Structure 1
Amino acid sequence: MWLDNASDIDILFYEPYARIIADIAKNKEYNPLTIGVFGLWGAGKSTLLKLIDKKLENQEGIICVTINAWMFESYDDAKTAIMEALLQELKEEVPAEVKKKFGKLIKRVNWFKLGTKAVSTLAPVVASVATGNPLPMLLNVTGSAEEIGNTVKNAADSIQSLKDEYWKDEDDSTDESTINNIRKFREEFSDALKNDNIENIVVMVDDLDRCRPERIIEILEVIKLFLAVDRTTFIIAADENVIKYSIREKYPPMNGFDVELDKEYIEKIIQLPIYIPELSAKDIQNYLLLLVAQSYLEQESFSRLIAKIFEEKMIVSGDVITLEEINNLIDELNLSWRDGDKSAFNETAKIIDEIREIVASTLKGNPRQAKRFLNTFITKRQLAKIYYGDEIDISILAKLLVLQKLDNDLFIQLNEWSKEFDTENKKFKQIRTEFQEGNMDSQNPWNTAQMKKWIECKPVDLEKYRLEKYFYLTRENLKSSSIDESGFSKNTKEILERIGRSKAGQMAAIIKDMKELNAEEVADTFKIIIPKIEKGEMKFFIIRDLFLNFDTYKGKIVEAIGKSTVTIKAGDMAALRTMYNSDTGSMNTVLEIMVKKGTLTDEQITEIKEQRKS
């Protein structure tokens, strides 16, 4: 099994990125600096941070710590929580003569904590004690007289302690404002780092994009306001799209102003953005085969294999690394197997080698998705052996898992066809024959480039096999489509967002950009749109424009309209008329279905068809 953890071995070949970022972090002329390591979920950002940490460890004058932002998700005040956690981490790493200064900084965070509590039910008590006149405000506090008395005493003691600790400065300043306290914190933090043994503090923030929008903003702001001082470098790993979404949630666009607040906000916080590109289909094919090798080779041997591949520049060549090349390197390096048997590796690798091209096209350059697919395959293979022994052809199981990943609706359809098996699966055979002869209806959902590749995967003659045992092993996917959006490309996510907030006049530009997407990105877009049409959550001017411009998906759009239980409104009629006039054949049947279901009246369908005659 492959765990979804940061890897100790650079199987993604991110070493050049790690080297560049580490060199920048070591250069004291660049700090204070905040670096953004941007990539989609599952792109390997945590692995890259681990590689950077390795390059910075034992570097004289460099202190490197990692903070997992997701750990602070449940805190009421993430700002003070992350400040305290970071200071505690650094306190353990800094020279002895600096520890006392960090201890004082940690205490100062307590004032910010108290400031946060002041907006809770204790606000009246805290505020009135601070002004030396608690009694008038106690009407707002519930509890017994004894409880109120204790609350007042504890609040007074806490505030006096904080005042004694922080506001008796040499200049006897009495400015107790939050702004002044922030200024003092930054000054003391900066002063604490002015030590001959400290050249730079490197703080790596991971899993920021797993947090809720408000938490993401809080953590970014605490870095900018409190912690970004001389001799500090922050490296923030996140999906930039998630950060942009969080910014738009907190700071919505202003009416009348064409300002990209999300972009400007990120530019203000992060000075150096570094984008991890999505792995290409070729990269994912290599990654799948290397993951298989990793599970069978001893760890040290696998590390040597990766090093050799990097040394030979095989990863940047124009060709996919073949299974034969992997085996040749294993023999050349005399690598060791975990169980001492190479045959188990060859059995699994051969199957993955046959399907990895089509699998790679569905995973959209996402390493996490590659691991998840292989984990599913290994689990199902083990279940197959338990249930059926040697009766299962593992290559068929792998091919069906790929179909489920490609299109769960077609996976369900193939299961229905398989129930009619006598000597063969006639309906699937018809699909395969139409593909081979090139006469398949353009609106048939099987008629896509991805499905053509899938049909050509071994075993090609799938209609000759009874599949009920295979579908039993994958029965959890036979009830409904499961869509995982984490592997969608940035382009797909942006198109979906634009469609979600579009007005009629904006659709022409959206359609134009959507046509620039590759086939896989368009397919992903419709994976989200079709269920929304079924639920009646998609406006008809959007449905109309998609219907008119994407012939391959007309069939699915029409089917989804027929499944909807939402009544057609007067404002929807113009779009339906346009669709009917454009393709009467496709629309006739669905209009009749809508009348039977009661979502369309007889008068409305007559109006649509009369418009056609006129």
Structure 2
Amino acid sequence: MFISDQETATDMLQYEAIAKTVVKLIERTPGIPITIGVHGDWGAGKSSVLKMAQAALEEKEGVLCVWFNGWAFEGFEDAKTVVLETIIEELKRARPTSQKVKDAAKKLLKRVDWLKAAKKAGGLAFTVATGLPTFSQLGDLIGAAKTALGKSAKELTRQDIEGFADETTGIFKDAEEDSVPAHIHAFRKEFIELLEAAEIKQLVVMVDDLDRCLPSTAIGTLEAIRLFLFVERTAFVIGADEMMIEYAVRDHFPDLPPSAGPVSYARNYLEKLIQVPFRIPSLGVAETRTYITLLLIEAAFGSDHDGFKKLLDAAREDMRRPWLSEGITSKAMASAMGGANPPAAEQALVLAGQLTTMLAEGTKGNPRQIKRFLNSMLLRKEIGEARGFGADISVPALAKLMLAERFKSDFFEEIAREVSGASDGRSVRIKKLEEFVSTPAPVAAEATKPGTLSKTKPGKANPPDDIEDWAKIDWIKTWASLSPSLADVDLRPYIFVTRDKRMLLGGTGASTQLGQLTDELMSGSWMAKTAAQTAQGMTAPFAEELFDSVKLRILEEDSFTKQPAGVRGLLELVKARPELESRLVEFARELSVDKVGVWPPAAFGNAFTDSTARLEFQEILAGWAVQTENKPLQKASELSSKIGAK
């Protein structure tokens, strides 16, 4: 099963109400240009709203709906000309047999070509002013001529280029377009002529993913719309996070004053470009529960399944008043499915009840993040099936562990380390935690008469020492109270499929213990010392393998400006197993001088008891002290050498 993350016209979130409002607003302003903003965080469903509005508008006579994805054209030199060309080409495609449309479009495209050619000239008609283009301008002119004449660079002759320059310059001379306002006015006039030639009552342009673009692209797109295309019979629906567009304004115009009264200049600029804003709200708890259920049912049965369609209709009716919603109940599910609920439907209800609160809070009601979580869960279940141990994985238990992994990674890491070292794969600490949270809360002592003993009702005792830190965190206590209980579950299969970066579990007890000790030495906490003491009783080959395992994990880090947590584990391991000092020297030698901070001299300075290893490290330290690539390391090494000499 897989839940698609593409924009969809299937409304599971009551977004159709926003789309209908957008369509109605466009219909009521046919002769007036309008820009409408559909705002929301990434993954909030903006593209889906635009798709729903587009589907409704395309059914209306005389309306042409064009889709423009700003992100798809990221990296193009000039966003303005890309927008103009795209919309003109779409108008040509909409009326492929009309010669009037072809002629009007050709005239406009020549203007766009010339605009591209003259972009770097500092004016719109450099040949008029100077008669001679620069080398950069000449390159732009050749590119524009290739487009206009339909020839390759090799096919172009001098006469072609001069003729193209004369023709385009003539256009600008006719319109007196040495001034930018005159050029814009002429373009807008000819754009209206193109709409009339195409017999379009209203052109609606859906602009998507603008908030993913670089600031210059975002601003260029909005300015092209406002300056060139914002004419009668046009509407622009712009899907973007308004905070990102405000950031683009500030970045593109860094010299703007910080504010103008209660509203910033960036906000004023945005409001000038986008007249009517719609903000997509985050999902609440009720909407999240319904959304999870519908996603899982659609993934299990398909969007064309009659049961899913009936359930979707019931959910839409229920969500008309979300403050009264009970979510999709087992009874509603059975009614949609035509009788008893299939196992997949029952599981969807269970998972929705289990995940809703924490996903709504953790994702801040973001639909895309909810989809990503569910997809990851379903994928990991499939991995278990493919590896042959799918029967050992219960999806509700997997979902519970994944909540910890997603929202409390340190807590999850502790569980993984304990489970990896347990012979039965069970977590004693989780069992204690679940027992602790299930114990009734303390009840205050009853009032008694003077001179008599107080009577106290039984209450919750203090948590055991090894879960005391967990018991202080409300999120973890809520997590522990979720069904199902994990106290008596072998969690090793779950840990195996949830570890994306590395797998702790191998086929032998030795490799399992190696992974557990490696994680503990990498933790940078008191567990590193405990792990090193455990390694004292291991064989020499195992100790060497453990050292190398930790070293490789450290060297996988991206930055060494601060001391990596695993270095403490190596030092503890070398202290417990002095025969590994030579390996520590080699590790110090492998550190890249240009990437480390000032920590190595102090970290390794007192680590060596063997005279040979100490002498070799002093040579490394001397090398650090004379190199000039890393001045902070050089000074730290010089200081460490002086202290060592004393």
Partner residue in 2 for 1:39: 40
- Cα displacement (A) at 1:280: 0.9
Residue from 478, 481, 493 that aligns with 1:469: 493
CA distance in 1, matches of 2:126, 2:198: 43
Alignment of 1:135-534 (within 5 A): 155-164=161-170, 166-167=171-172, 169=174, 173-194=175-196, 197-252=199-254, 254=256, 260-300=264-304, 301=306, 302-311=308-317, 313=319, 316-331=322-337, 342-387=342-387, 388-421=389-422, 424-435=426-437, 436=439, 437=460, 439=462, 444=469, 447-460=472-485, 462-477=486-501
Measured in 2, the distance between the counterparts of 1:309 and 1:72 equals: 38
Q: CA deviation at 1:4?
A: 1.2
Take 2:484 and 2:59, find their aligned partners in 1: how far apart are those partners?
53
The Cα of 1:363 is off from its aligned counterpart by 2.0
Q: Deviations over 1:496-527 (max 9, x none)?
A: xxxxxxxxxxxxxxxxxxxxxxxxxxxxxxxx
1:3-82 alignment to 2 at 5 Å?
Answer: 3-28=4-29, 31-82=32-83
Matched residues in 1 for 2:317 and 2:279: separation?
A: 24
Equivalent residue letter for 2:227: L
C-alpha distance in 2, partners of 1:395/1:153? 74
Which amino acid is 1:370 matched to? I
Structure 2 CA distance for aligned equivalents of residues 190 and 198 of structure 1: 10
Q: 1:79 to 1:139 in 2, by over 3 A?
A: closer
State the alpha-carbon separation in 1 of the partners of residues 81 and 217 from structure 2.
Answer: 12
**Cα pair distance change 1:313/1:43, threshold 3 Å:** closer
Instruction: Kindly state the Cα deviation for residue 249 of structure 1 after the two structures are TM-superposed.
Output: 1.4
Instruction: Tell me how far 1:470 sits from its aligned partner.
Output: 1.4
Q: Write out aligned runs for 1:63-142 (5 A).
A: 63-93=64-94, 96=98, 97-116=100-119, 118=121, 127=126, 131-133=130-132
How much has 1:313 moved relative to structure 2? 4.8
**Take 1:138 and 1:5, find their aligned partners in 2: how far apart are those partners?**
44
User: Percent of aligned positions with the same letter in both sequences?
Assistant: 31
Q: Is the 8 A contact 1:251 1:261 kept in 2?
A: no
Tell me, yes or no, if the aligned pair for 1:129 and 1:156 is still in contact at 8 Å.
no
Give CA deviations for 1:530-587 in whole Å, capped at 9, x if unaligned. Answer: x9xx988xxxxxxxxxxxxxxxxxxxxxxxxxxx9789xxxxxxxxxxxxxxxxxxxx
Q: Take 1:82 and 1:141, find their aligned partners in 2: how far apart are those partners? A: 23
- The one-letter code matched in structure 2 to 1:26 is E
How far apart are residue 263 of structure 1 and its match?
0.7
CA distance in structure 1 between the aligned counterparts of 2:347 and 2:241, rounded to whole angstroms: 37
SS at match of 2:67: strand
Report the counterpart of residue 546 of structure 1 in structure 2.
none
User: For residues 443 and 278 of structure 1, what CA distance do their matches in structure 2 show?
Assistant: 35
CA contact (8 A) 1:26 1:62 kept: no
1:280 partner amino acid:
G
Equivalent residue of 1:476, what SS?
A: coil
Q: Any idea what SS the aligned residue of 1:328 has?
A: helix
Cα distance change on mapping 1:234 and 1:328 into 2, 3 Å: same
Change (3 A) 1:330 1:270: same
Aligned-residue RMSD, C-alpha = 4.0
Which one has a bigger Cα radius of gyration? 2
Describe the shift of the 1:255–1:109 C-alpha distance in structure 2 as closer, same or farther (beyond 3 A): closer
Question: Residue 37 of structure 2 aligns to a residue in which SS?
Answer: strand
Q: What letter matches 1:15 in structure 2?
A: E
8 Å contact kept, 1:309–1:315: no
Between 1:241-250 and 1:391-400, the stretch displaced more is: 391-400
CA drift of 1:414 comes to 1.2
**Aligned counterparts of 1:322 and 1:309: Cα–Cα separation in 2:** 7
Cα 1:18–1:456 shift into 2, 3 Å: same
Deviation of the 1:402 alpha carbon = 1.3
TM-score, normalised to structure 2, is 0.65
Supply the AA of the counterpart residue of 1:86.
I
Residue 574 of structure 2 is matched in structure 1 by none
Unaligned runs of 5+ in 2: 140-152, 440-459, 505-556, 563-595, 600-635, 640-646
**Distance verdict in 2 for CA 1:417–1:565, change over 3 Å:** farther
3-state secondary structure, aligned to 2:271? helix
Q: Flag the 1:400–1:127 CA change in 2: closer, same or farther, 3 A.
A: same
Tell me what 2:629 maps to: none
Q: Provide the residue aligned with 1:610 in structure 2.
A: none
Mean Cα displacement is larger for which, 463-472 or 368-377? 463-472
Distance in 2 separating the partners of 1:15 and 1:127: 50
CA deviation after TM superposition for structure 1 residue 311, in Å = 3.7
Q: Which moved more, 1:357-366 or 1:400-409?
A: 357-366
Q: Aligned in 2, Cα 1:206/1:446: closer, same or farther, shift over 3 Å? A: farther
Cα deviation, 1:311-338, whole Å, max 9, x if unaligned, reads 4556635234134044233135x89xxx
On the 8 A contact 1:289/1:323 being kept in 2, the answer is no
Higher relative contact order, chain-length normalized (CA < 8 Å, sep 6+): 1
Deviations 1:376-435 (A, max 9, x none): 111111111222142223322221111111111211121122234357523334444554
Deviation at 1:293, TM superposition (A): 1.2
* Distance in 2, Cα, partners of 1:256 & 1:167: 39
Q: Any conservation in 1 of the 2:40–2:46 contact (CA below 8 Å)?
A: yes
The answer on whether the counterparts of 1:91 and 1:103 sit within 8 Å (CA) in structure 2 is no
Q: What secondary structure does 2:47 align onto?
A: helix
Residue 237 of structure 1 deviates from its aligned partner by 0.3
Distance 2:121 2:474 in 1: 61
What's the offset of the Cα at 1:438? 7.3
> 1:35, CA displacement in angstroms?
0.4
Q: Is contact 2:172–2:183 with CA below 8 Å preserved after alignment?
A: no
Q: What runs of 5+ residues in structure 1 fail to find an aligned partner? A: 336-340, 481-530, 537-563, 568-597, 602-614
**Mean CA deviation greater in 320-329 or 14-23:** 320-329
Q: Distance in 2 between matches of 1:479 and 1:251?
A: 48
1:66-92 Cα shifts (integer Å, max 9, x gaps): 111111102111211121011111223
Please state how far the C-alpha of 1:54 moved relative to its aligned partner. Answer: 1.7
Query: For the Cα contact (< 8 Å) 1:281–1:364, is it kept in 2?
Result: no
